Amino acid sequence: MSAVDAPPAGRRFGAGPARPVSGRGPAPARRTGTTSDLHRRERRWAAAFIAPVVLGFVLFAVLPFCFSLYAAFTNWNGLSAPTFTGLENFRLMMADDYFWQALWNTLFLMIGIPIGLSISLVLAMAMNRRMPGRSVFRVIYYLPVVTSLAAISILWQWAFNGDFGLINQGLALIGIDGPNWLQEASTSKPALVLMMVWKGLGFSMLLYLAALQSVPRSLYEAAELDGAGAWGTFRHITFPMLRPVTFFLVVTNIIGGSQVFTEVNIMTPNGGPEFSTATIVWYIWQKGFQNLQLGYATAMSLVLGLLVFVITLIQFRLNARNSFSVE
């Protein structure tokens, strides 16, 4: 669909980068030119400045997307030419238990989103006080966000080790005999959720904190005068004021959550025990790049893209009254 608007854009401004050279030399002299001359000069420079971004968009978004629309309906192993098979890939997908399992795993891992957002809201409210050491706490909680996901996945794989891992050592202190987290189908997903919450907490906390600081003081003062309690103030002032940020965080987290790959691939090779941690992106990657079922993998990526698109759209609809706009 976006492919329809894009090619004209490329055509119209395709010649952009070459043109401005002519305008570069005697620029000051052109000052005396007519208004339309000036406008043309402005247009050319504008086209030249946006040309790389437009080119990137066409080459690495529109083009692959169009090709997906074709490849998803073919049988294709990457070595010989794709052969058209109609809806066969989608029929295969419906009957593929692994596909449904991967979809379910991906959704399950998203329970970390409400958990993470709730904890980070509490943290942000705790830090939104005039309190010594506040900036140190901010840095500490944010630290995991900037660390390399690959390195952190390696660390947590070791931390979840059944016998010598940090987690079970910690649980032993309070008398709990922890499971072999990543080796059992029943605990592998919760383990991943725990790690992902730990890693992402700081980001949402920071956004909540910024939003809290932008709530006008006068609102709280008014609430206090009206005799509102702590809960009432939170429910009727803080929470509504945080809705736009919450919305932003939910959308970005769902989009990110539908693309989980690194931690799963490193911490639980081969899709985890009983395929319990294979996410949809992991399965696409495996089918496409390991099994060379490129047509089938492309069909699944289309479904993934569509899912993300629909979720985003629903979120925008739900949030329409909060006037979230690009401008």
Residues 204-223 interacting with another protein (rule: CB under 8 A): 206-211, 214
Confirm or reject binding of residue 121 to another protein (CB under 8 A). no
Chosen residue from 81, 95, 131, 174 binding another protein by CB under 8 A: 131
Confirm or reject binding of residue 28 to another protein (CB under 8 A). yes
Binding mask 34-53 for another protein (x = CB under 8 A): -----x-xxx-xxx-xx-xx
Confirm or reject binding of residue 304 to another protein (CB under 8 A). yes
Q: What stretch of H or E contains 84?
A: strand 83-84
Confirm or reject binding of residue 264 to another protein (CB under 8 A). no
Confirm or reject binding of residue 95 to another protein (CB under 8 A). no
CB atoms within 10 A of CB 280: 24
Alpha carbons 269 and 264: distance in angstroms, whole number: 7
Instruction: Provide the minimum distance between the beta carbon of 56 and another protein in the complex, in angstroms, as a whole number.
Output: 3
Confirm or reject binding of residue 55 to another protein (CB under 8 A). yes
Chosen residue from 81, 86, 133, 317 binding another protein by CB under 8 A: 133
Among all chains, which residue has been given the structure tokens 């899912």? 307
Confirm or reject binding of residue 22 to another protein (CB under 8 A). no
Give the angle subtended at the CA of 159 by the CAs of 153 and 162, to the nearest 5°. 125
Confirm or reject binding of residue 140 to another protein (CB under 8 A). yes
* CA proximity to 269, closest of 252, 286, 248, 293: 286
Chosen residue from 14, 17, 19, 65 binding another protein by CB under 8 A: 65
Identity of the residue, 190 or 244, whose beta carbon is nearer to another protein in the bound complex:
244
Alpha carbons 13 and 140: distance in angstroms, whole number: 47
Instruction: Provide the minimum distance between the beta carbon of 114 and another protein in the complex, in angstroms, as a whole number.
Output: 18
Q: Which residues lie below 8 Å from residue 136, measured CB to CB, with a gap of 6+?
A: none
Q: What stretch of H or E contains 74?
A: strand 74-75
Number of residues that this document lists for the chain: 327
- SS3 of residue 178 by DSSP: coil
Identity of the residue, 120 or 276, whose beta carbon is nearer to another protein in the bound complex:
120
Chosen residue from 110, 111, 149, 228 binding another protein by CB under 8 A: 149
Amino acid at 95: A
